[in-house]
Amino acid sequence: MGTGRDIITSVGALLNTSGVGVWNTTGAFQPTDTAVVAQAMPPTPDRAIVLTTFPLTQVPGSPMGRWILQVRTRGLPNMGLDSLDLADAVKTQLDGLTNQTWGNTGITQVIFYSSIPMGEDDSVRFEHVTKYYIDLDEQPTPLRPAGGWD
């Protein structure tokens, strides 16, 4: 697995274990679930958390890097603060997390970066997008060896 997949699957599992949402890679959710998914917002259930990653900085010759985890939350219809409550529940689990191993990726720290309300969809479900910096040890490649260059 790659770094982005390691981050998404590990955060999904963490949110599932902590009771924030239901991480289910089959995409099958009950209407009352808070779905935790990768990449794209599902049409149902109403409450959902979408996890997306992208690399931000890499240091040539070093295994250290910084990625961004974007967390998009959607709340129940006509409940404007519900998506904010979801964003806060995720923040409680992630902000300040240190010294983790997610798949093959060593996580140094997770730091809250920003959050912004995104308005509502056609079903009056409000959304927020929150971003986190993730400082990590990249998985080794032939051009980025474990431990960096001597």
Burial class of residue 26, CB neighbours in 10 A (0-12, 13-18, 19+): exposed
Q: Where are the domains of the chain?
A: 3-21+35-137
For 1-142, where are the E strands, in sequence order?
22-23, 35-38, 48-58, 64-77, 98-102, 105-120, 125-137
**CA separation for the pair 75, 83 (Å, rounded):** 4
pLDDT confidence of residue 52: 98
Lowest mean pLDDT, pick from 34-38, 63-67, 94-98: 63-67
pLDDT tens for 66-85 read 999 999 999 999 998 999 99
The reported pTM is 0.91
**How are strands ordered across the β-sheet holding 64-77?**
22-23, 35-38, 48-58, 64-77, 125-137, 105-120, 98-102
CATH class entry, domain 3-21+35-137: alpha beta
Q: What is the pLDDT of residues 121-140, one digit of tens each?
A: 999 999 999 999 999 987 66
pLDDT band at 25 (very low <50, low <70, confident <90, very high): confident
